């Protein structure tokens, strides 16, 4: 496993590589590779989840002094939910180096794979914490996860599809629709291109390994465009 690209991507130099090799080991991989010298990543995921919650809670508590506890909870959930963390995994390339069984590797779509991707982000945070301490782990969280805080706060903790729907109904008295424009790839690795429409007008296009993710991508692109 070559972790050089990951280190460059996140701007962190690892010391004990074994922590990160374990963080990237899914339990299914060990079933097919019993000689692999590391445990699966579930203990590191457990640790990383706690570090992530503390770091995000600490930051939003400081940055949003006028918000009540209930709202802070909503914002935290939006930042660290499965979909958000799976997006981080994809952005920094964890999906490409995660060790999976052949069967799990073929299942590139669906909630199961999304959950695996989210879990490996938490495991990576746990590895950074053990290897380099809380400050480095928090720095990773700030650079990769908390960068979305302003968008989350602006949207009230809602996802982009909800925001686009509210915008379309308020401004145009219509409900936006999504249409699949293209679908390609083998059954185990589909790729969708989806259009976001206001009645007959195409407003944006999104892509992803499922219709739902492509729709969300289209909504995010439209929402980013109308904010600027």
Residues with active-site annotation: 49, 122
Q: Determine if residue 45 is labeled as part of a ligand binding site.
A: yes
Q: Determine if residue 119 is labeled as part of a ligand binding site.
A: yes
DSSP string, the chain: ---HHHHHHHT---S-HHHHHHHTB-HHHHHH-TT-SS--THHHHHHHHHHHHHHHHHHHHHH-TT--HHHHHHHHHHHHSHHHHHHHHHHHTHHHH-B--HHHHH--SHHHHHHHHHHHHHHHHHHHHHHH-HHHHHHHHHHHTGGGHHHHHHTTT--HHHHHHHHHHHHHS---EEEEEEEES-TTS-EEEEEEEETTEEEEEEEESSHHHHHHHHHHHHHHHHH-
198 strand-pairing partners: 201
**What is the SS3 string spanning 174-214?**
CCCEEEEEEEECCCCCCEEEEEEEECCEEEEEEEECCHHHH
């Amino acid at each position: 496993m070559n972790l050089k690209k990951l280190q460059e991507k996140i701007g962190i130099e690892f010391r004990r590589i074994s922590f990160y090799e374990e963080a990237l080991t899914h339990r299914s991989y060990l079933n097919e590779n019993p000689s692999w010298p590391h445990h699966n990543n579930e203990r590191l995921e457990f640790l990383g989840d706690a570090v992530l919650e503390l770091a995000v809670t600490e930051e939003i508590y400081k940055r949003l002094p006028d918000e009540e506890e209930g709202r802070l909870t909503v914002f935290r959930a939006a930042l660290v939910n499965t979909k958000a963390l799976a997006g981080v995994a994809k952005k920094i390339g964890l999906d490409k180096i995660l060790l999976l069984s052949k069967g799990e590797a073929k299942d590139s779509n669906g909630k199961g794979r999304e959950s695996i991707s989210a879990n490996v982000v938490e495991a990576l945070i746990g590895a950074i914490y053990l290897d380099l301490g809380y400050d480095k782990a928090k720095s990773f969280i700030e650079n990769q996860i908390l960068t979305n805080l302003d968008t989350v706060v602006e949207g009230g903790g809602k996802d982009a599809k909800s925001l686009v729907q509210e915008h379309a109904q308020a401004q145009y008295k219509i409900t936006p629709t999504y249409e699949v424009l293209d679908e390609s790839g083998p059954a185990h690795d589909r790729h969708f291109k989806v259009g976001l429409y206001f009645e007959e007008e195409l407003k944006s296009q999104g892509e992803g390994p499922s219709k739902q993710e492509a729709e969300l991508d289209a909504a995010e692109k439209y929402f980013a465009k109308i904010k600027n």
